[in-house]
Structure 1
Amino acid sequence: MSIDQNNQLNAYADLVKLYPDNEAYLRKYAELLLIENKQTTAAEVLRHLHTLLVNRGEHKQANTLATTFPQIGRIRNGIDPNDDRIDKLLPTTMQNSLWLRLHQHKVKEGHHLIQRGEHEETIYLVCEGELAEFIWSSDGKPVLLNLITLGNVVGESYLFNPGPHKSDIVANKDSIVAKLPRKKILAALEKNPSLKIALQQKSASRLINARISSSPLLQNVPLNMRKDLAEQSHTRQYAAGETIHKAGEKLDHVDLVAKGSAHFQLLGKGIFKELKTLGPGSLIGESEAVHIQGCPADMIANSNVTVVRIPYNAFRNVVEAHPPLRNTLIAYAEKNQLQIMSKLNEL
């Protein structure tokens, strides 16, 4: 550490003691600590700053801070739950209390509204109570995807892409839902672009969350963290034989194989050798080693592949905030390394 840096660090340490709630002093002090690799103290300062911003109601600034400094280990919070409501965007006739009463259905606690496999193309609006959406893990355990509350809808994705439901919708408590006629909703979408965009965004976010939740590595992460990852992620499609990543490519994201399969391959003596198959639920770029050193080998699509691309900082935030995930990922990385090394030895 240079004398000037040392003086600066000491000066800001004193300023923070005198003014513990000064945002500018806290941020500068944390940045100086990080330069000197004093990670623990820097994280404490940044967490204090994050808490201050949240308490002031400055959620946008708090979220930006958490994204910029993943060591905070905080997930975006303080978002107004009403921001997610759809009822205010519905046509006036569907907001009318009399119309809603005529289309309402009661769902007892623990009873299904929709069962997996059903061909139900109706949108339901929650008027009272709460619905839970869940899928089943490979070992037969339920994995919660969503809690659908007052003013929100369920079934919106099947409005755009009809087909059998891939999840179960159950009443978490005694609930009342209104069945929104498919034809009227489709007609309303043409007249109301805001409603169409809101439903499409909700459908896309829920689909990504379902894909994240289907991964055995991530399905035990708390729901709010999985939803946070989903909101910041997007999907990419690759055709069979297409290169997804080149060996040594630096990644600023984590890839989750959601559909199809890919493999790592190595060129030796003019012949491509497959090192490891990556099926649904596999992660690439999840470890610090891969993030820094790059992809361990060429990654090629075996078939048509759908990948969920998660920003690395968002992923690291979840790892910091949910320690059990760190242990899961360490074991996963070690297993992958052993498999690749074993294959290399064979070759």
Structure 2
Amino acid sequence: MDIAPLVQAMQTLNAEDAFRARLTLDQWRVIAPYLTRHEIRSGDLLIKQGDADRSMYFLAQGSLQVFVTGGPPGSSRIAILRAGSVVGEPGLFNDGPRMANVEAMTACEVWALRGPRLEELAQRNPALALELLRAAGNVMAVRMRANLAKQTPFT
């Protein structure tokens, strides 16, 4: 599978919470075998709130909505994500339950990085794994600051 379109989408995404890994296309090609590509139909859940899953997803094509269930009326939708975004990044750092649902708004192509595969990459190429974690941590920090500014609870 060619990872170049995903890398292009990430590099051109103009969003505050963009995944900005300092990696070349050749380095992404080294990472690619550790990822799995999935096609998601419109309306399908990629992540279910409450499930345990140690995966982060890179959105190559399509759009996703992030929402929570069980909150006060009008507070359920958290974000809409476009191609080039990442979602589920807390799963790389925490074994706990997912905090939100992620649903495909359109047909999507996503690439999954699962925790065990990241650990394998870290053994074989620690610098690449560290850069992925640095960029994922940055996305989490930006999103957490935005939620605090909006006074959106995250539980």
TM score, norm. by length of structure 2: 0.70
Structure showing greater Rg: 1
Alpha carbons of structure 1 residues 234 and 274: separation in structure 2 relative to 1, 3 Å: same
Q: Structure 2 counterpart of 1:242, which letter?
A: D
Return the letter of the residue paired with 1:259: Q
Partner of 1:150: none
The 3 A distance-change label for structure 1 pair 338 and 263 is farther
CA contact (8 A) 1:238 1:304 kept: yes
Distance 1:286 1:321 in 2: 18
> Quick one: percent identity of the two aligned structures?
14
Contact 2:54 2:92 in 1 (8 A): no
Of 90, 95, 104, the match for 1:292: 95
> Does the C-alpha gap of structure 1 residues 272 and 286 become closer, same or farther in structure 2, counting only changes over 3 Å?
closer
Relative to the length of structure 1, the TM-score reads 0.35
Establish whether residue 334 from structure 1 lines up as the match of residue 141 from structure 2: yes
Change over 3 Å in CA distance of 1:288–1:321 after alignment to 2: farther
1:257 and 2:50 are equivalent in the alignment: no
Q: Which residue number corresponds to residue 310 of structure 1?
A: 113
- 1:274 maps to 2:68: no
CA RMSD of aligned residues (A): 2.9
Q: Distance in 2 between matches of 1:230 and 1:258?
A: 13
Q: Which runs of 5+ in 2 are unaligned?
A: 12-18
CA contact (8 A) 1:251 1:291 kept: no
Q: Where in structure 2 are the equivalents of 1:197-212 lying within 5 Å?
A: 205-206=1-2, 209-212=3-6
The unaligned stretches of length 5 or more in structure 1 are: 1-204
Aligned 1:107-118 pairs, distance under 5 A: none
| Cα-to-partner distance string for 1:31-76 (whole Å, 9 max, x where unaligned) | xxxxxxxxxxxxxxxxxxxxxxxxxxxxxxxxxxxxxxxxxxxxxx
Displacement, 1:227? 1.6
- Measured after TM superposition, the shift of residue 310 of structure 1 is 2.3
Is residue 41 of structure 2 the alignment partner of residue 247 of structure 1? Answer: no
CA positional deviation for 1:343: 5.8
Larger helix percent: 1
Contact 2:47 2:103 in 1 (8 A): yes
Return 256-265 or 322-331, whichever deviates more.
322-331
**Looking at both structures, which has the greater relative contact order when contacts are Cα pairs under 8 Å and sequence separation is at least 6?**
2
Q: Aligned residues, how many? A: 139
Segments of 4+ in structure 1 off by > 6 A?
A: none
Opposite residue 114 of structure 2, the aligned amino acid is P
